[in-house]
Amino acid sequence: MLSGKPAAPRGDWIQATDGTYVKKSSVYLLKNGRRTAQLMKVYGHSKMYDNNGATYRYAVFETEFDCLSWNRQRKLDATALSAPEYTAENIVGKLPFSKEWDSYREGSIGDYQWRAVCRL
C-alpha cells in the first residue's frame, strides 16, 4: 500500500489553501451574466456555512480583471464596495443564497484588487 499525499487531479484543477481542489474553468467573475475575469490563484480558505440546515461550501479566489474598463461602465460606489462587511472574513455569510456567484472589492478607490467568491 502506498503512503503519502493523494495525487493531485490532472488537468484543469487548482488547489485551495485548505488542500481541496477546484476546477479552474469553474472560477470566474460575472458581469451582466458574462464571464469577465480568469482565475489567477486561490488566496483564501474554503469555508462551510450552514443556512437553515443546508450546508454550503465556499472558497475565495483572486482574479485578474480590467478594473478601469469596469469602472467606466459601472461607476463604482467606492463607499459601498469598501465597506467592512465586504471583507474576506465575513462575506460568505453576506452572500444571497439565490445567487451562485458574487464579487466584491477591498481597499480604496485607487486599489483595483478585485476578487470573486464562488460557491463550490
34-75 pLDDT tens trace: 444 443 433 433 334 444 544 434 444 443 333 333 333 333
DSSP lists the bridge partners of residue 21 as 15
Torsion angles phi and psi, residue 94, rounded to 5: -95, -15
Residue 33: exposure state from Cβ atoms within 10 A (0-12, 13-18, ≥19): exposed
Q: Which residue, among 20, 106, 110, has the nearest Cα to 63 in the 3D structure?
A: 106
Domain extents for the chain?
13-119
Q: Which residue, among 100, 82, 107, 106, has the nearest Cα to 28 in the 3D structure?
A: 100
Q: What pLDDT is attached to residue 40?
A: 40
Tally Cβ neighbours within 10 Å of residue 110. 6
